[in-house]
Structure 1
Amino acid sequence: MSIFDPLGIATPVTIQAKRIIQDTWRSGIDWDTPLEAPEADAWSRWLEDVRRLAKIKVPRCYMKLSHARGIQLHTFVDASSTAYAAVTYWRVEDEDGNIHVSLIIGKGKVAPLKVISIPRLELQAAVLGCRLTQTVVDEHQFKPTSRYYWTDSRTVLTWIRNGPRVYKPFVAHRVAEIAEHTKTKEWRWIPTKMNVADDATRDVPHDFDSNHRWYRGPDFLYMSEENWPQEEVTDVNVTDEERVHLTTGVGARLKEALPVVTRFSSWIRLMRTTARVLQFIDRLRTRTQRCAALRKRTRKNADADPTWRKNNTGRRQYPVHQVEIHTAERTVHGRSMGASEHTLNSRPLTHVSTAPEDENPLTPNHFLLGGPSRVPLPGAFTDTDIDGRKIWRTSQRLADMFWSRWIKEYLPDLQHRRTPRATNGALQLGDLVFIADGTLPRNTWPRGIIVATYPGPDGEIRAVDVRTNRGVLRRPTKKLVIIATGGNETTKREP
């Protein structure tokens, strides 16, 4: 015997099996241990309910849906301490004004093992009904003219009507999902006795057959809308799901600080003056919070180190914003000068080889840091990054500006200034060179060996091919700085 029920038509029966499995798991018995009396009796009753399912017949087609004058979609949700469920129905009015109700789909879930309050389970059922309705609308060619959601929980209705911002995360997230797919006016209250979803959250009804209200829908759907259940106005108690907002009487003091309305004859002047007062109060509050934080740090340092108070007594006390500006300026200049110093100290002092197996040439950083530069390549920065609040990016941009001027103004001076037709400084095959490329990241020194030259009609070499670790590059001679000649790689070319 097996049950295949993808549409949840037999949810009042199938949900009982899930409850039995959960209760059995909660009891902690082993796989080969016989069931205890409560679970065994529940299992026997469930088998009898499953056998009665064979006698239930449900219409294969929706009633009068293709010739409907009006189509409504009704979703019912409910929850108990052990399960929560949702079920949807078509309510169709045909051309003659007759009402037809058809079951579409139902779904039930057992409550989690962790104990959750009934209002939260009711909210879970509302989310389930919302998702179920959205699936029905998406998967059917016929679209409803109106939708209705029914719940017997006034607490859930209050949560939905107040919106997600008022409540704690559990309720806020689910109310936000409901608000995304439904409208507040679509949610209605229904008494528990008239809620058909209640049949899937408790024991199987004794008269569960083809004529049960689970398959036919509630009786009031066959009536006019004036006869539908009406919500009774009652007070909703606090559910402990509301966010707690602490106040310190700021509202009363703020009201005293606002301008007196009777002293103004112009509405525009009153609004502008009020805006100025509020702006001043906001700035004063921010300044006060900063000063309080500074005093807290000062008191903490004084308590932790007795000599701190002695060493800091009598020093000039700068305003908070002035101290922050001075600190930021010193940090920016220090970092930018450090980056520029690192650029100068990364220039090779000895012969540079293009062979990948050779060691790196000596640089001033070897003597200062005990090895080559270990600073990672910086990112890309623009002039918009020069902002006092972005100290690190500001220093990086200043270092980039120094590198750009280094490449454009100083590095070309290292190459030979030759007169036309001169042969003393001509580039030769085998010369080791630096490539002056201002588009590369800072502190990047591409070097290579000349493998081909391209003289012009006048015999002057103005372009060469340079073999580097990343391939052969063709570069103009004005972008190259000679390190050593092909005839003697260990001898630097004299200027």
Structure 2
Amino acid sequence: MLNGSIGVLCRFRKDEVAITADIEGMFHQFYVAEAYRDFLRFLWWKNDDVEQEIVEYRMKVHIFGATSSPGCANFGLKRAADDGESEFGSDVAKFIRRDFYVDDGITATPDSQSAISLINRSRRLCAKAGLRLHKFTSNSREVLASIPVEDRTSDLQAVDLNKVQLPLQRVLGIMWNIENDVFCFRMQIKDVPLTRRGMLSTVSSIYDPLCFVGPVLLEGKRIVQQLCKEGADWDDPVPNDLRYRWERWRNELQDIENLKINRCLHPVQFGTVQRKEIQHFSDASNVGYGQCSYIRLLNGEGKVWCSFLIGKSRVAPLKPMTIPRLELTAALVSARMSKYLRWQLDIANYEEYFWVDSKVVLGYLANDVRRFHVFVANRIQQINELTEPKGWYYVSSKDNPSDCASRGMKACQLTSESSWIRGPEFLWKSDLNLNDVNATPCTETDKQLINDEMKRSCSLQTRVFQREDLYVRRRWRRVQYLANEFWVRWRKEFVQSLQKRNKWQRRMPNIAVDDIVLLDDDHAPRSKWRLARVLDTYPCPDGIVRKVQLMLSERERDDKGKRISAPSILDRPICKLIVLLRASEEKALQIAEDVARDSSTGSHDDEPRSALTLD
């Protein structure tokens, strides 16, 4: 129901003229159905007088803080967009539906006139639904001048638009320099205790949804991860070696304020875009793994512009993992990011390219015959479902900007001209020759790493083919694959069916009354399991007994062998019972003992006794 904040921010960067707005008291504009108002009851003094009695009230509108309020309010907002689409235009309805995060709306238009038209029609659509759009902001002074002063954001109401620079504004948590139309950071690091809790609080306080400063934050995440690895408690003091690393990293964070990122994905008056490409890079190391995505635009004059879209930077898992597997995991993150951008960007007719600096990963994706271990096979399958194998290319490590996401970088190194923000240099060339990029073949080491991940399975012996006989070789590999599949299925499905399995084939007799059983207890050793006698059975409709009533034996007795306490009666399923002696066997044993006793004594007057008693 709610739009994702990251997707809204990505669309906010598409065009030159940016607009932000807010819905006044959004939750309070939507009524709660009378049948559900009892869920919003509260106690308060009658007539707001603390001297009077406390009475019960019910809210008639949605309230701030309730989990249901954002979803219900956005449902009503989108319903208003659907109702007004035919009257006010599809672009207005799309703005209301797609570019609002709860009550904050942000969008971008190609020019000022379209922005003014969009604002006026959006205000009329919302007013018809009983909503008021206000707190408008824009990087265009022409747009701001067309908005009534009382409907602008508070920072712009007393500003002379012709003389004073436009102030900074927050857009969904990100600082936006309206005057220069760039995103920036204002670092206000609080003094917190040097503990695991305080460090995690500092790292989490830097809000960076698009991962502009992800490589810088990687070092802080690594320190917190190291504390977790060493088993440090939340409030334990930090070791001296980690304390030094943390203080150095924390002091360098102020340099992030020097970073400026263009809000718009293309420069002003770039012209008509003839070609659009999205370039995805991924990389991994023993420190971390990550990816970054760039949009590459070419206009009619052959000029190229490349902008950072979004990235991910994550620490490597604590469980040891080979570098090829980490590289494959990073490639999967890149493929998933491609799917997310296709869904969120609303850009049509663009091409996608995926770049990795690992020939092993390219070997994984190009192999469609051999089978890999589960970890590798699952990720290859997901990547192939999200992307085309022919869209993956090799790039050298020095030209791979995602190397910053996998190894981290200092805050002073992260500038607008760094490879992480600007992208690799070859993307800025008008003629991007992909054939030259992939010319480097796999080395023997790469081939060995690929073979290590392949499953060992029986296969037919192949002959040596001529180099020109490629078609026959492919056909023979296909036959080899089918033969291998046949033998695997024959071994797992047919051969195992030849083995006779007696379990579950013959029906066991039901547990009966007076059977002696042993009670299986998961929390006690076998020597402490209790004896019990079956008092009653509970047959199911099919006649099978699956639950019985038991009387437990007593370990302690008095001098006469009698129970000290009352017998314990309980119900248990038969899966927790082990039959030691059935009642029929006990009776036969009793008769045999009587016959043997009579034969030895010649007497038949004694009363028969049970072989095992629980009384």
Per the normalisation by structure 1, the TM-score is 0.50
Matched, 1:241 2:424: no
Partner of 1:89: 294
User: Is residue 231 of structure 1 aligned with residue 439 of structure 2?
Assistant: yes
- Distance change (3 Å), C-alpha of 1:243 and 1:9: same
- Deviations along 1:262-303, one digit per CA (max 9) or x if unpaired, are xxxxxxxxxxxxxxxx9xx99xx99xx769956xx79x9xxx
Given candidates 328, 331, 356, the residue that maps to 1:151 is: 356
Q: Is the 8 A contact 2:218 2:408 kept in 1?
A: no
Q: Which residue of 2 is the match for residue 51 of structure 1?
A: 254
Stretches of structure 2 lacking an aligned partner (at least 5 in a row): 1-188, 190-204, 464-482, 507-535, 544-615
Distance 2:428 2:539 in 1: 83
Give the RMSD, CA atoms, in angstroms: 3.6
Aligned to 1:136: 341
Match of 1:217 in 2: 423
Unaligned 5+ runs, structure 1? 253-277, 301-327, 332-369, 378-495
CA 116–53 in structure 1, closer or farther in 2 if over 3 Å, else same:
same
Instruction: Give, in angstroms, the shift of residue 233 of structure 1.
Output: 1.2
Partner SS, residue 170 of structure 1: helix
Deviation of 1:376 after TM superposition, in Å, equals: 3.7
User: 1:164 Cα shift?
Assistant: 8.1
Q: CA contact under 8 A between 1:84 and 1:109: conserved in structure 2?
A: yes
Aligned residue type for 1:218: P
Aligned partners of 1:141, 1:217: CA distance in 2, in Å? 22
Q: 1:128, CA displacement in angstroms?
A: 0.5
Evaluate the alpha carbon distance shift between residue 210 and residue 120 of structure 1 in structure 2; reply closer, same or farther with a 3 A threshold.
Answer: same
Structure 1 residues 250-265: aligned runs within 5 Å: none
1:430 equivalent in structure 2: none
Instruction: Check the 8 A contact 1:164/1:171 in 2, yes or no.
Output: no
* Contact 1:164/1:175 (8 A) holds in 2: no
Letter in 1 for 2:413: D
Find the structure with the greater CA-based Rg.
1
Alpha-carbon offset, residue 165 of structure 1: 5.6
User: Given that residues 163 and 175 in structure 1 are in contact (C-alpha distance below 8 angstroms), is that contact kept between their aligned partners in structure 2?
Assistant: no
Q: Distance in 2 between matches of 1:291 and 1:90?
A: 55
| CA positional deviation for 1:87 | 0.3
Residue type of the alignment partner of 1:245: S
Matched-pair identity in %: 29
The Cα shift of 1:209 comes to 1.3
Q: Cα distance, 1:246 vs. partner?
A: 2.5
More strand by share: 2
Alignment match of 1:27 (pick from 202, 211, 230): 230
Output aligned runs, 1:416-435, within 5 Å. Answer: none
Residue in 2 aligned with 1:166? 371
Distance 1:4 1:72 in 2: 28
1:163 and 1:176 in contact (8 A); partners too? no
Residues 16/51 of structure 1: CA separation in 2 closer, same or farther (3 Å cut):
same
Cα separation, partners in 2 of 1:47 and 1:165, compared to 1, 3 Å: same
Q: Which residue pairs with 1:114 in the alignment?
A: 319
Q: Give the partner amino acid of 2:346.
A: Q
Q: Deviations over 1:420-459 (max 9, x none)?
A: xxxxxxxxxxxxxxxxxxxxxxxxxxxxxxxxxxxxxxxx
Q: Which residue of 2 aligns with 1:14?
A: 217
SS in structure 2 opposite 1:74? Answer: strand
Q: Quickly say closer, same or farther: Cα 1:373–1:155, change in 2 above 3 A.
A: closer
1:149 and 1:188 in contact (8 A); partners too: yes
Residues 78, 84 of structure 1: 8 Å contact kept: yes
Partners of 1:165 and 1:172 within 8 A in 2: no
Distance in 1 between residues matched to 2:246 and 2:496, nearest whole Å: 69
The residue correspondences of 1:249-398 to structure 2 (distance < 5 A) are 293=498, 374-376=540-542
- Aligned residues of 1:130 and 1:178 also touching (Cα < 8 A): yes
Q: Deviations over 1:318-376 (max 9, x none)?
A: xxxxxxxxxx9xx9xxxxxxxxxxxxxxxxxxxxxxxxxxxxxxxxxxxxxx9999544
2:281 maps to amino acid:
F
Report the counterpart of residue 207 of structure 1 in structure 2.
413
Q: CA deviation at 1:207?
A: 2.5
TM-score (normalised: structure 2): 0.41
